[in-house]
Chain A
Amino acid sequence: MRLRRLLLLGVAAVLLAAAGAALWRSAAPRPETAHSIADQLLCPACQGESVARSQSPMAAAMRDTIEQQLAAGRSPGQIRRFFVDRYGTGVLAEPGYDGIGILLWVLPSLAVGAVAFLVVRQRRRRPAEPARGEPDTAPSPRTGRARTWDAVAVAVIALVAVVAFTSPERGNTDRPARAADATSSLLTLARSLEDQGRYAEAAEVYRDVVAQQPDDRTRLRLAFTLLRSDRAAEAATTAGEVLRDSPGSTEALLILGLAQRATGSPDATATLRRFLKAAPDDPAVPEVRRLLAKS
């Protein structure tokens, strides 16, 4: 019996510590970046995707808006307000702290409080029961039922804890999110260099970002800036790598084709034709057609 009690206390202590750590992790103040703000906004043009993740042009425009406003010295709260004014509270990934939003925060806490209250009351009643004249020796059916409830409660808590600690989301949200925070300022720098036409410098920054975060979009920016800084062979290699990973990427096809053309590769025409077939509505189509007609 004592061992069981110790075990239960141990489990409770571990769960409390885990809950404390989780609370600390989510409540600890972290500097907000353009990426973290975009992550808390839902893209209005797409279902359930955050502005940070969506590939739609409108989400890209919203990311640029966030960067522009941060650069202008507006606070993350002001920026969120800006989007809510235009797109409604539905643009926020988390419910707000007013109106129905507050209910969504308060009701689960109330439910937890109510359950805790019931458990405590149940436990307080138990010692009083034998005094009612029931025999002390055999466990009463009430005590048996209370034990079952205890077991169920512990099982539910254990299940939640197991799911929380083993779910794949956990790994994803911790480290890569921090890495993304660190790289997002580099990306901003690279983009601003690119906007100023300093492609060679932008390419170097993109190369650093790709080393930590080799996603398609960044690798394509790297390929594009390499191409614009007359390093077509490297651009072709990078675009080729993206195409190997994502054969459907028409942007990779376009950059690969243009890079092959710049290096004088005989494959250029075939690659650009593939691009025209795959993306007939791309804004680059007229220009590619002109190039193909010239060669």
Chain B
Amino acid sequence: MSRRRVVGALLATAAVVSLGITLASGMGRASDAPEPSATGPVTQARSGTAPGLSGRTLTGAAFDLTTLRGKVVLVNVWASWCDPCRAELPVLAGAQRRWSAEGLEVVGIDIRDNAESALGLLSELGIPDLRSVADPRGTVAVAWGARGVPETFVVDRTGHVRWWAQGAVDAAWLEERIPPLLAS
């Protein structure tokens, strides 16, 4: 009788534990993404080699990220149909101007867009020279693991991704992360 009770108690415990694990893993999945901070984009430190980024730019020039090895590269995923990108693109162009002498390069990935609208937006914002790779099907952005627009990846001088931001970055965000990488 007592053996039966022990078996029963064990089974009940197993049932509760399995239910708990199932619920916990489900909830863990739902809250996988980091909590958005009060200000600025959701940011994660990253490591690992940057995925490939090559193709034609919006103006038709050839581009290959590997030729920028030795520089800090800010890769920004954007599109002309994305509203927050309008405010972010001039900030990125400003960063390019400010830190280019120290080795910063800004490259956009313009996803699921047509080149005409994208170039239209850039010239409307007064930054027609901001270089972007055309990614009409969005497959390059997927290879980078982007989840939406805008998103920013910062690649260090050795070709490793160091930061990943979901949402528009601002001057303060760049000020905090770019100079240390340029100094290293």
Residues of A within 8 A of B (CB): 44-45, 47, 56-58, 60-62, 64-65, 68, 86-88, 90, 95, 100, 103-104, 107-108, 110-111, 114, 118, 281-284, 286
Instruction: Provide the bound-state CA to CA distance between A118 and B10, in Å.
Output: 12
Q: Is the CB of A57 within 8 A of B111?
A: yes
Q: Mark B117-150, 1 if CB is under 8 A from A, else 0.
A: 1001000000000000000011101111111110
The A/B interface has a contact count, at CB < 8 Å, of: 80
Q: Mark B18-40, 1 if CB is under 8 A from A, else 0.
A: 10011001000110100000000
Q: Is the CB of B29 within 8 A of A90?
A: yes
Which chain A residues lie closer than 8 Å to B148 at the CB level? 45, 56, 58
Residues of B within 8 A of A (CB): 7, 11, 14-15, 18, 21-22, 25, 29-30, 32, 79-81, 83, 111-114, 117, 120, 137-139, 141-149
Instruction: Provide the bound-state CA to CA distance between A68 and B138, in Å.
Output: 11
Q: Is the CB of A283 within 8 A of B18?
A: no
Q: Is the CB of B25 within 8 A of A86?
A: no
Which chain B residues lie closer than 8 Å to A44 at the CB level? 147
Q: Which 5 residue pairs of A and B lie closest in terms of their CB atoms, listed nearest first? A: A61-B138, A86-B145, A107-B18, A64-B137, A44-B147
Could you say which of A57, A107, A108, A110 contacts B138, with CB atoms under 8 Å apart?
A57
Could you say which of B81, B143, B147 contacts A283, with CB atoms under 8 Å apart?
B81
Instruction: Provide the bound-state CA to CA distance between A63 and B140, in Å.
Output: 13
What's the least CB distance linking B147 to chain A, in Å?
A: 4
Which chain B residues lie closer than 8 Å to A111 at the CB level? 14-15, 18
What's the least CB distance linking A154 to chain B, in Å?
A: 20
Q: Is the CB of B114 within 8 A of A86?
A: no
11 A–B contact pairs at CB < 8 A? A44-B147, A57-B138, A60-B138, A61-B142, A65-B138, A103-B18, A103-B21, A107-B22, A110-B18, A111-B14, A283-B80
Q: Is the CB of A100 within 8 A of B21?
A: yes
Which chain B residues lie closer than 8 Å to A118 at the CB level? 7, 11
- Given A100-B25, A286-B117, also A62-B32 (CB < 8 A): no
Chain B residue with the shortest CB-CB distance to A68: B139
- Given A118-B11, A286-B117, also A57-B145 (CB < 8 A): no
Which chain B residues lie closer than 8 Å to A64 at the CB level? 137-139
- Given A61-B112, A118-B11, also A282-B81 (CB < 8 A): yes
Which chain B residues lie closer than 8 Å to A281 at the CB level? 81, 83
Could you say which of B15, B112, B139 contacts A65, with CB atoms under 8 Å apart?
B139
Which chain B residues lie closer than 8 Å to A95 at the CB level? 25
Could you say which of B22, B32, B112, B144 contacts A60, with CB atoms under 8 Å apart?
B112
Chain A residue with the shortest CB-CB distance to B8: A118
Which chain B residues lie closer than 8 Å to A114 at the CB level? 11, 14
What's the least CB distance linking B28 to chain A, in Å?
A: 8
Q: Is the CB of B142 within 8 A of A62?
A: yes
Which chain A residues lie closer than 8 Å to B137 at the CB level? 61, 64-65, 68
Instruction: Provide the bound-state CA to CA distance between A282 and B80, in Å.
Output: 9
Q: Is the CB of A58 within 8 A of B21?
A: no
What's the least CB distance linking A44 to chain B, in Å?
A: 4
Instruction: Provide the bound-state CA to CA distance between A213 and B139, in Å.
Output: 26
Q: A61-B137, A281-B83 are in contact. List 11 more A-B contacts (CB 8 A).
A: A57-B111, A57-B138, A58-B142, A60-B138, A64-B137, A65-B139, A104-B25, A107-B14, A118-B7, A283-B117, A286-B117
